[in-house]
Amino acid sequence: MKKVISTDKAPAAIGPYSQAIEVNGMVYTSGIIPVVPETGEIPKGSAAQAKQALTNLSNLLLAAGSSMDQVVKTTVFIKEMNDFAAINEVYATFFTGAFPARSCVEVARLPKDVMLEIEAVATK
């Protein structure tokens, strides 16, 4: 049976979807964007946005009873591939030990015109 996961420490869904779903001991997150949940602000610059998006992701996983250390796969959507190195620097600080598998793709546009969006699959 699936369980809906939500927290006010990550951006609220802006459409007909859940922030995350847990099923069979796995947590599947929706795409997380770099919005500061308390204010709705979006940080400036790719590194600051990466930090906010990953903080939001971490908070969502904690609400699900998981953590960044239990992430097995991420997908990172970035607006500008030239920001890849700056985003990677921040990304690396959120994981310890073996990094999760990852896909990273450049896209034309993201919600609220942010510079990146990240989704994850984690164990519980």
Cα distance between residue 29 and residue 15, in whole Å: 14
Is residue 104 part of the annotated active site? The answer reads yes
Say if residues 53 and 32 touch (Cβ distance below 8 Å).
yes
Token reading at 48? 């600051």
Token reading at 75? 């997908």
Q: Could you give the 3-state DSSP secondary structure of residue 44?
A: coil
- Of the residues 21, 63, 104, 110, only one is catalytic, namely 104
The angle that helices 46-63 and 84-92 make with each other, rounded to 10 degrees, is: 40
Residue type, 49: Q
Residues identified as active-site: 104
